[in-house]
Structure 1
Amino acid sequence: MLVSKSMSKMVFSISAKSSLSKAITLQQKCQVNMFPVLDKGKLVGVLTDHDIQRASISDKIPLDTHEAIDIVSKVPVREVMTPNPITIPQDYTVGEAAKILLRNKIAGAPVLDTDGHVIGVLTRSDVLRVMILLTGINKKSFQYALRVKDQPESISQIVHVMRDHGCRFASLLISYHGVPAGSRDVYIRVYDIKDDVATKLIHKLNEIATVHYVVDTISEERRIIIE
């Protein structure tokens, strides 16, 4: 899924010349944790809640309340923002963007179009929303976690067995993380099967793979089926 289809398109930006007090008011009103900072329409930085908190406890803000109010009305955003921000191209996949956020330990980044204009912001919440969609976890289902041989036919065999048992597929994910060489882990989410079929299916799948667990979210109470 592309970033352009997953980002938060309602972008609240602020001018680099605006005061810190205006930024604080805007943050409280908009309930967002990061603003792109613009100067003559060009992205020059980002202002995060962390930047605001850091500025509020700096030497620029005295302990006297009245003096503090006067100063925050004069301190420009440019002085407290994070300059040269990390950005994400609109045509990146969400997976590529997630790697950028994780590698740089940031909670979000502005999204730029091909002309370098800010068109949105991608946050951790946006990434998690995509993960929920792609994994099919929002649909009541059974998730089977299996370890199979890293061979071309291994997954097709599993799919064939599940189809024979009337399964409909919500998602299929593959991981090599922490898996021994020559193997891979497969996570398949299926629905439209009854409880007894889901249990019988474990035995069939164990003939061609190793079933680690099955999570049932179809029942009234979530449960893990252990065989």
Structure 2
Amino acid sequence: MLIKDWMAKDVLTVDENTSLMRATRILKENSIRRLPVVSHGKLIGIVTDRDVKDASPSKTTSLDIHELYYLLSEMKVKDVMTSNPLTLREDETLEKAALVMLEDKISGLPVVDELGHLVGLLSETDVLRGFIHSTGIKDGAIQFVFDLPDAPGSVTKVIESLRKFDVRVISILTSFEDAPEGKKRVAIRVMISDAGQEEAMAKELRETFTVVYHGKDELKNMPRKRAV
């Protein structure tokens, strides 16, 4: 999966001399958490809601409301922004972006071209959307999770067994950290044309391979955040 397919392309930006008050208003009115800072189309920094919060006077300050507004109007984005932020290119992978975000504990990345011009913005939500799409969970697919020998051809043998039941493979994900030693954990989601064959298929797979899980995610009554 490529970043360019999941990033936001219509990105709100500010320049370095934008007042902190205006930047705050843009963040709040558009319900966004970060604003790229550009100069002549090139990315020079980024300002986040956290930067704004840290730069704003404390609620316990003795300043009156007029003094607060004056202070915020005088402060500029360049005073609080992160200069030369981490960036990625649009033709790099979503997986790499996820790794960068995880290791550097950030929730978004500006995306630039080879000349440093801003072309998009990738958030952790975009990464999650891409991951969810790639798994096929929203397609109502059946999932099997196997512990297979960490050897060439082990996944192919599973696919050959699945073909007997006229299935369409939606996704195959492989991991090693959560598998027993010498094994790899493989999650395969499939769509089966004849739902009546699911149990027969599951029975054959269990008899031939180590099946860790078999099921379909229930999405109708998912937990939801309560409205405030």
Query: How high is the TM-score relative to the length of structure 2?
Result: 0.89
Tell me how far apart the structure 2 counterparts of residues 195 and 90 of structure 1 sit (CA, whole Å).
40
Name the SS for the 2:138 alignment partner. Answer: coil
One-letter amino acid of the structure 2 residue matched with residue 23 of structure 1? A
Tell me how far apart the structure 2 counterparts of residues 104 and 163 of structure 1 sit (CA, whole Å).
42
Alpha-carbon shift at residue 37 of structure 1 (Å):
1.0
Alpha-carbon shift at residue 81 of structure 1 (Å):
1.3
Alpha-carbon shift at residue 217 of structure 1 (Å):
3.8
CA contact (8 A) 2:192 2:198 kept: no
**Residues paired across the two proteins, number:** 221
CA contact (8 A) 1:108 1:121 kept: yes
The residue aligned with 2:141 is 141
Map 1:84-123 onto structure 2 (within 5 A): 84-123=84-123
One-letter amino acid of the structure 2 residue matched with residue 24 of structure 1? T
Tell me how far apart the structure 2 counterparts of residues 132 and 95 of structure 1 sit (CA, whole Å).
13
Q: Structure 1 residues 71, 153: closer, same or farther in 2, change over 3 A?
A: same
The residue aligned with 2:180 is 180
Structure 1 unaligned residues grouped into runs of 5+: 223-227
CA contact (8 A) 2:165 2:192 kept: no
The residue aligned with 1:7 is 7
Q: Structure 1 residues 219, 50: closer, same or farther in 2, change over 3 A?
A: closer
The residue aligned with 1:28 is 28
Alpha-carbon shift at residue 74 of structure 1 (Å):
1.1
Name the SS for the 1:73 alignment partner. Answer: helix
CA contact (8 A) 1:52 1:80 kept: yes
CA contact (8 A) 2:178 2:185 kept: no
The residue aligned with 1:151 is 151
More divergent stretch after superposition (190-199 vs 116-125): 190-199
The residue aligned with 2:54 is 54
CA contact (8 A) 1:45 1:84 kept: yes
Tell me how far apart the structure 2 counterparts of residues 11 and 221 of structure 1 sit (CA, whole Å).
34
CA contact (8 A) 1:141 1:218 kept: no
Name the SS for the 2:200 alignment partner. Answer: helix
Name the SS for the 2:162 alignment partner. Answer: helix
Q: Structure 1 residues 197, 62: closer, same or farther in 2, change over 3 A?
A: farther
Name the SS for the 1:127 alignment partner. Answer: helix
Tell me how far apart the structure 2 counterparts of residues 107 and 221 of structure 1 sit (CA, whole Å).
28
Tell me how far apart the structure 1 counterparts of residues 213 and 48 of structure 2 sit (CA, whole Å).
41
The residue aligned with 2:226 is none
Tell me how far apart the structure 1 counterparts of residues 62 and 47 of structure 2 sit (CA, whole Å).
21
Name the SS for the 1:14 alignment partner. Answer: coil
Tell me how far apart the structure 2 counterparts of residues 56 and 208 of structure 1 sit (CA, whole Å).
63
More divergent stretch after superposition (13-22 vs 205-214): 205-214
Tell me how far apart the structure 2 counterparts of residues 221 and 33 of structure 1 sit (CA, whole Å).
29
One-letter amino acid of the structure 2 residue matched with residue 6 of structure 1? W
Q: Structure 1 residues 192, 62: closer, same or farther in 2, change over 3 A?
A: farther
Alpha-carbon shift at residue 169 of structure 1 (Å):
1.3
Alpha-carbon shift at residue 41 of structure 1 (Å):
3.4
Tell me how far apart the structure 2 counterparts of residues 209 and 170 of structure 1 sit (CA, whole Å).
20
The residue aligned with 2:202 is 202
One-letter amino acid of the structure 1 residue matched with residue 159 of structure 2? V
The residue aligned with 1:215 is 215
Query: How high is the TM-score relative to the length of structure 1?
Result: 0.89
Tell me how far apart the structure 2 counterparts of residues 204 and 154 of structure 1 sit (CA, whole Å).
16
Name the SS for the 1:207 alignment partner. Answer: helix
Tell me how far apart the structure 2 counterparts of residues 62 and 19 of structure 1 sit (CA, whole Å).
22
Alpha-carbon shift at residue 5 of structure 1 (Å):
1.9
Tell me how far apart the structure 1 counterparts of residues 168 and 69 of structure 2 sit (CA, whole Å).
61
Report percent identity of matched pairs. 34
